[in-house]
Structure 1
Amino acid sequence: MAAKEKTGNAFVETIKTIVYALLIAGVFRTLFFQPFWIPSGSMKETLLIGDFLFVNKMAYGYSYASCPSVMLPRFGIDVDAKDICGVFDGENTRLFANQPKRGDVVVFRHPVSGRDYIKRLIGLPGETVQVRQGVVYINGVAAPQTPDGDFTEEMAPQGPQALRPRCENGPVGNGGACIKSRAIEALPSGTQHAVLNIGNQASDNTGVYTVPEGQYFFMGDNRDNSADSRLAQPAGGVGFVPFENLIGRADRIMFSSAGRSMLFFWTWRGDRFFKRVE
């Protein structure tokens, strides 16, 4: 009898341990850092497909978007942040709020789909933003771009979705060199970062956007391969992003995998471990 009681108690203690661990992990993820895996090439070369990073949630304070979403369609799991913290939605405010800075690389919730996106903050509330011939103008002043050679990658499937890169040097066969022009863009904040060019397209010449109060304008560094604030939400873009939709700032890449799974250690990119996001 004693043996059964001891076994039963051990089982209960194991369950408690698991529950406590999940609660602690949930609190940690909600308040401090959220893991994020880069799924697309819209932020190349700053972020590559397969980069794994932690998002600093303390950077901008907390809103409903700080609660984690768990979306695993394969297993029928679709728990949205609003399902957990929807009571805090609707006022476009944050607890312990800090304003983001131009040039920050930010993870945010898409205003319509609720999916997590990562882009660079370009336009602040009340400003105007326009793109002319691929150059960004903020309040009518150009953010200058200095040519800086090429960004070259192999033409091959990338990441779990086996995405193939787009190339400036035309159609490229498997294993070939996929090349994009690189430039260093200088924002009015004084920050500098690399941007890539694939070719001339509609998003290289836009109208003038006026950023509403309490909202922000984002763009990807891989300018010709990014669905961002240049395209309105109904048309498949992001549009303006409310303050409350910001999740956090991307500060550092923890590690990076060039393969289809983070478990394929032979595809890890050794030069990107603990790399600072700039």
Structure 2
Amino acid sequence: MDFDFELILAIAFFVTFAAWLYDRIAYAPKRKKILSQMAPEAVAALDKNAQLNLADTPKWLLEVKSYFVIVAVIFGLRSFVAEPFQIPSGSMLPTLEIGDFILVNKMDYGLRLPVLNKTIIPTTEPERGDVVVFKYPENPSLNYIKRMIGLPGDVISYHNKRLMINGKLMDEELLAELPVSLNPSREPVAVYEEDLDGVSHQIYKSYRRNPLEGDWVVPEGHYFVMGDNRDNSADSRVWGFVPEENMKGRAFYVWLHWNEFFSLPSFKNNGLIE
């Protein structure tokens, strides 16, 4: 079952806000009137909870509205500033490992309405080489993370494990060959440094044949993305382009690594995402 935390948080925000507003309109004036009629020493003898219980304010209302401020802060920061994610798969190796906790800048690609993801204040647009988080086109309740390869209008070609953009072959340099024991994907791979028009980053290539080849023209309002683990990534080569309205933000920082629940968290991967 898909777990849409963004939707759940939005519902929590509106429920607690409604409770806070109802209390402010229906019960807060009554409590204020009762307190104004009491002697100062009697008011001083009442703690905060006792004052809130005046005017027969329902306990359920006080309980729900008490969460409003903390829910509003979390909802605001997560929706408009930075959102945390955990990497669930190895499709972005070696850039991101399974169990990495990352932060996504929610302001880079425009301020968007929570849940609906509609842009309300445009800022900048995605750039080639960005590591982006987006709503999976085939199931928008899921969030995916990949590297931005193709912008609107680009011609993308991928043959014999080499990437070409608008007729230009992207430069790459072999850095190392990793045996099975050193690769979380459990197969030997070659590590390359790839240059995406000035954005350098590392990628994995396996030694087996990869059928994910083809030529694509990126339509307007869409993007073409790929995983850095080129032979172990379901991306635009498989399910197509990412609509602009599905973009959530740019991944920019790893702040924790915690691969398994019974393992100890570590900070070994902490740093900016390239």
TM-score band (shorter)? 0.7 to 0.9
Is the 2:131–2:251 contact (alpha carbons within 8 Å) kept by the matching residues of 1?
yes
Identify the residue that residue 208 of structure 1 maps to in structure 2: 215
Aligned residue runs from structure 1 range 127-276, under 5 A: 127-151=154-178, 154=181, 165-168=185-188, 180-188=189-197, 190-198=198-206, 199-203=208-212, 206-231=213-238, 237=239, 239-259=240-260, 261=261, 264=262, 266=264, 268-273=265-270, 275-276=271-272
Work out the CA distance in 2 between the residues paired with 1:243 and 1:94.
14
For the structure 1 residues 155 and 147, does the alpha-carbon distance in structure 2 shift closer, same or farther, using more than 3 Å as the test?
closer
Work out the CA distance in 2 between the residues paired with 1:143 and 1:111.
27
Is the 1:105–1:118 contact (alpha carbons within 8 Å) kept by the matching residues of 2?
yes
State which drifts further: 146-155 or 132-141.
146-155
Which whole-Å deviations, capped at 9, do the CAs of 1:209-268 have from their partners, x for residues lacking one?
00001111000000011000111xxxxx3x111111110001110111132x2xx462x3
Identify the residue that residue 103 of structure 1 maps to in structure 2: 129
Determine which of 7, 16, 25 is the counterpart of 2:65. 16
Letter in 2 for 1:101: E
For the structure 1 residues 265 and 8, does the alpha-carbon distance in structure 2 shift closer, same or farther, using more than 3 Å as the test?
farther
Letter in 1 for 2:226: M
For the structure 1 residues 14 and 187, does the alpha-carbon distance in structure 2 shift closer, same or farther, using more than 3 Å as the test?
same
Q: 2:273 aligned with 1:277, yes or no?
A: yes
Aligned residue runs from structure 1 range 14-93, under 5 A: 15-64=64-113, 67=114, 81=115, 85=116, 88=118
> Which has a greater percent of helix?
2
Count the aligned residue pairs.
222
Is the 2:180–2:187 contact (alpha carbons within 8 Å) kept by the matching residues of 1?
no
Work out the CA distance in 1 between the residues paired with 2:71 and 2:80.
14
Work out the CA distance in 2 between the residues paired with 1:18 and 1:153.
49
For the structure 1 residues 166 and 13, does the alpha-carbon distance in structure 2 shift closer, same or farther, using more than 3 Å as the test?
same
Structure 2 unaligned blocks of 5 or more:
1-44, 54-58
Work out the CA distance in 1 between the residues paired with 2:90 and 2:201.
16
- How far has the Cα of 1:276 moved from its partner? 1.0
Is the 2:214–2:237 contact (alpha carbons within 8 Å) kept by the matching residues of 1?
no
Secondary structure of the 2:121 match is coil
Identify the residue that residue 112 of structure 1 maps to in structure 2: 138
Identify the residue that residue 76 of structure 1 maps to in structure 2: none
For the structure 1 residues 154 and 255, does the alpha-carbon distance in structure 2 shift closer, same or farther, using more than 3 Å as the test?
farther
Work out the CA distance in 2 between the residues paired with 1:225 and 1:52.
20
Is the 1:258–1:269 contact (alpha carbons within 8 Å) kept by the matching residues of 2?
no
User: Which one has the largest radius of gyration?
Assistant: 2
Work out the CA distance in 2 between the residues paired with 1:242 and 1:94.
17
Which whole-Å deviations, capped at 9, do the CAs of 1:31-80 have from their partners, x for residues lacking one?
1111100000000010000000111000110335xx2xxxxxxxxxxxxx
Which whole-Å deviations, capped at 9, do the CAs of 1:96-117 have from their partners, x for residues lacking one?
2311110000000112201100
Is the 2:99–2:259 contact (alpha carbons within 8 Å) kept by the matching residues of 1?
yes
Secondary structure of the 1:111 match is coil
Work out the CA distance in 1 between the residues paired with 2:245 and 2:48.
50
Task: Write out the 4+ residue segments of structure 1 that deviate beyond 6 Å after TM superposition.
Answer: 2-5
RMSD after superposition: 2.6
Instruction: Calculate the TM-score normalised by the size of structure 2.
Output: 0.73
